Structures are given as C-alpha cells and as structure tokens.
Amino acid sequence: MKDERLNVLLSAYLDGALAPDEKLELEGQLRSSASARTEFWDHARMHAVLHEVEQRHAIDHPEDADETKRRGESPVDFLRSRWRPSWLPIALSAVAWLILAAFLVRNMAQQKAVAPKRVYVGELRHDLDAVWAGDSPQIAVHQPLKVETLHLQSGAVEIALVSGALIAIQGPAKFEFRSADRIVLVQGRIGVTAPSQARGFTVETPSLKVVDRGTRFGVSVDADGVAEAEVFEGKVDVFPNRDVVKKSTGPQRITENHAVRVDPAKKEMLAIKSDPNRFPQPERLTDNLLNDPSFEAGADPAPDGLPSKFGEWGGDFCHVTGAELGIQPQTGKAMLRFLRGDNTRSNGETHPNSELWQMIDLRPHKKLMAKARVEAELSCYFNHVAGEPGSSQRFGMNVFAFRGTPGDPDELWARRNKVAVGRAHAEMLTDDMPATWQRLDGKMPVPAGADFLIVQIYASNREGLTAEQPVLVGNYADSAMLRLRVPPKLGTAPVVKAR
C-alpha cells in the first residue's frame, strides 16, 4: 500500500500536479527512506526517457503519435514497444540523479529558510538592585538576553550588546530589543555608549527615534509619553514622530551638552537644559594607557632607573626578545626579559627585584575623574624557565598615584610611601610550566585630584636579589595593561523645564 501511494505521489510530482500537502508527504518519505529515493530515481529516469522518445518520435514519425492517441495506447506501452538501447539511458540516468539532487537541495534550502534565527542580542553585565516585574522574564547577571519584551520594576541594569553598544537601563522601564542595534523604549530611562563599531545604534520611542552617530547619549520616556533625548558626548540624529510633532521638518542633529523633549500633548519638539545626571550611565573603560604594553617596538628599555618622561619604559637592566628558552611571547612577537636588579644610576646598589617603570599622565582624563569614581586596573602576564639556576617564580607589580608634577623621579620614588595619594600592590608565584603564561591583576581607586601614576612591574627570586646574586635567568613579562574604569551608576530625575 505504501509503494502504491509512493507511486501516486511520484507520478503527480513528475507531472507537475502535486498538491502542497502531498509535496510535504513526498518530502518526508524521501528523507526517511532509501528505497523511496531509489523509486524516485527509477520514475525520474523513466519519465525523462519517455519525454525524450516522445519528442524524437513526434519529429520523426508524426503519424505514429496520432495513431497512439487514436488507439488509446499508454505512454509506457508505447515506450516499451519503441525503446532501443543507445547512449540515451546513460545520459538520462544522469538527468534523473540531477533531478533528485535538485529536489533534495531545494528541500534543505527551504528548511534552512524557515529555521529560527539567533535571537540572543547580548548579556546582562551588571545589576544595581534590579527588580524585574512579575510579567517579565527574570534576567540574572551574565545571562543572555533574547529578542523579547522586558519590564524592569526598579533599580538598574547594564547590558552589553553583541553590536558593541553598552546600555544602562533604569526602572521603572518597559523595553524590547528588536536586534543588537535597535531597542524600543516604551517607558524608562537609558544611557547608551556606542563605540565606532556600534555606530547607528537606534532607540525608538512612541514620540521620537534617536540614531547614534558615534557618541554617548541618554533617552527617557515618562508615563505620559513625554520623551527626551540628550547627548553627553558626540552627536545623534533625532527623528520626531510625524503623528506627534505636526510641524516636524525632519531629523535634527543634536550635539554634546544639548537635549530635546517631545511632548505628545503639545505636539512639538522643544530644546531643554542639559543634565546628564538625570540618566543612568553604563560602565566606562578607557583604552590601555601604557605605551608599548607588549614590547613590540623591539627596543630595550633604558637601564637608567625610573624614566623622566610619560609613556616610556625604563628601570633596571632588561631586554626585549623574541621566543627563546622554550618560551613563546604571550602575544605578538616580543616579550620582556628581566636581567638584573641594578641599573646605570643605582651606584652599585642591587634592588631586591629587577624592576621596570612607566609614568602615566592623568591630565587628559581629568574630566572623567571629576564626574565619577574611577578605578585604575593594572594587569600583566608573567612566565619563567623552569629548573634554570637563577630563575624565579616571584613576580609582582605596583601602581602609585601622585599629585603635582614628577620633578625628580628617583627622589619621588624614594618618598612614594609618604607622598603618594593612592597605591595598589599585587604579587604572585608562577607555576613551573613555561608553555603557559599567568596573569596578575590589581586595582586601585584613583583620587579625583591625582595628576599622574607610576606603574612598576618586577621579577625576583624567593629571597630577593643581592649584590652577590644580582642576575635573573629566564624571567619574562608580556601584555601589560593599565585602564581606568568608571562603574555604572543610577541617574536622578529632576523636573526639567523647557527653555
């Protein structure tokens, strides 16, 4: 019975008369049954042969075609009576296989077309006392976010999107991510940081649409549908809803320290006073402030003690090298090798550690430091050759914050414990596996009045270097990093009057 049904389906398919539900039935049998696919091949070959012979005979013997119709002879009987071996079976077999392959490929393409697309747009990074409403999914830190509607009752969350945009959302808020570069804000307040790779990120509200043009900005919608957009840095394009703003002249470019409001009741867009504190702010993280952090420039640091200029490595005798002694650089083609615990200005004195320094100018970041609490985060990778005499497992780093100007760096360093306004220290003992680098991390709150930092990385043995043993063998550092981090924060919501 099953074979009879398959024959019916195959005949209808080859004649182009297969109904949609029959097509699904046939596809199912072809996917699940090898014998069904073999039967399909046989029918397709016969159908192709029949078509070819009929065409040839109609050309060569048109009277036979008329006679066949008159006698009511079936096409198959006609084919059997007229068929003669030739090259045709081989060619038509290939045609049949092509028909089957095309059928299956088309079926797979159709299945792929209806397969659900990836619906995750990012993840929740931070939770500032967030309370999700009962009608909303309950999202936890580090949980992926889907394309769905969310309802934040109170508190705030920070969301990192795969597009690169970073968003802080403060409740009460109702919103939906349509994609990784588009959010619909029905109610609530958000702050957006959109780096270059997320340019064009869009926030839609019932009253207006805001399109990022490389910036940090905020958008709010209150319970009455009044929407506001404000630019903290950079610029955005604001598109008022034509159904709300009757006199709209099209998009408006809004720049830093400017804000607008669209009031559905007044049906107009007004300029308002800028106040970034009204909006929640996502985390901010600077680029690496260290110059040549992975030592790819290839030049050895000056062995003249603490450097006198910002952005230069200097300290004890060290060497920049490529892969050696079975150790590969952690990144790139170069790494730093600690050599000794002295330098050209140490006057014969050997330090307990082989030390390297760099000074960081904080003045370009004063604006950031004045607006929020800032942390300095320092990290570095270390490695050593196992079993070598003079090789050490002990590595460390320090960062000190100072006010004023460096003056004499050596004198300043000697008085660091008395004059520094901030300090962080971290130390570690690495393992005996040269194939793996180990990362050391440390962080320090940066006082708002700090003007510069001094970063130090070092290597030593367990007992400390001495004049008798000032040399280290096979101790390395790579991929150092110093960044300033501003954690996410809530916004205030004072009444903003139109101007």
Taking only the tens place, the pLDDT of each residue in 306-345 is 999 999 999 999 999 999 999 999 999 999 999 999 999 9
146 pLDDT exceeds 80?
A: yes
Query: Residue 348's domain is classified under what CATH number?
Result: 2.60.120
Percentage of residues in the chain having pLDDT higher than 70? 75
What one-character DSSP code corresponds to residue 406? -
Task: Output 405 or 1, whichever has higher pLDDT.
Answer: 405
d(C-alpha 281, C-alpha 192), whole Å: 7
- Residue 305, domain member (yes or no): no
d(C-alpha 216, C-alpha 195), whole Å: 8
Beta bridge partners of 460: 394
480 pLDDT exceeds 70?
A: yes
Q: How confident is the model at residue 371 (pLDDT cuts 50, 70, 90)?
A: confident
Residues 107 and 129 in one domain: no
11: domain range? 2-114
Q: How confident is the model at residue 116 (pLDDT cuts 50, 70, 90)?
A: very low
Residue 243, phi then psi, degrees to nearest 5: -75, -15
Residues 65 and 182 in one domain: no
Domain edge (last residue) among 240, 265, 282: 282
- Residue 354, domain member (yes or no): yes
Q: What pLDDT, on the 0 to 100 scale, is given for residue 374?
A: 93
Pairing of strands 215-221, 182-194: antiparallel
Question: How many structural domains are present in the chain?
Answer: 3
Residues 77 and 185 in one domain: no
Residues 367 and 428 in one domain: yes
Residues 79 and 145 in one domain: no
Asked if 150 contacts 133 with a C-beta cutoff of 8 angstroms, the reply is: no
Q: What is the pTM of this model?
A: 0.67
Query: Residue 156's domain is classified under what CATH number?
Result: 2.60.120.1440
Residues 345 and 204 in one domain: no
Q: What angle do CA 229, 232, 234 make, to 5 degrees?
A: 100
Residues 336 and 465 in one domain: yes
Pairing of strands 182-194, 202-204: parallel
CA-wise closest residue to 44 among 100, 106, 107? 100
Residue 429 burial class via C-beta count within 10 angstroms: exposed 0-12, middle 13-18, buried 19 and up: exposed
- Residue 198, domain member (yes or no): yes
Q: What is the CA radius of gyration of the chain?
A: 37
Q: What pLDDT, on the 0 to 100 scale, is given for residue 41?
A: 58
Residues 104 and 157 in one domain: no
Residues 106 and 136 in one domain: no
Domain edge (last residue) among 282, 298, 322: 282
d(C-alpha 260, C-alpha 230), whole Å: 7
- Residue 307, domain member (yes or no): no
Residues 70 and 179 in one domain: no
Residues 336 and 453 in one domain: yes
Residues 105 and 151 in one domain: no
Mapped onto helix, strand or coil, the DSSP state of residue 112 is helix
Pairing of strands 318-321, 452-460: unpaired
H-state helical runs in 61-139? 62-71, 75-82, 88-114
Query: pLDDT tens-digit profile of 201-214?
Result: 999 999 999 999 98
What is the amino acid identity at position 455? V
- Residue 294, domain member (yes or no): no
72 pLDDT exceeds 60?
A: no
Beta bridge partners of 445: 375
Helix (H) or strand (E) holding 462: none
- Residue 100, domain member (yes or no): yes
Domain edge (last residue) among 98, 114, 130: 114
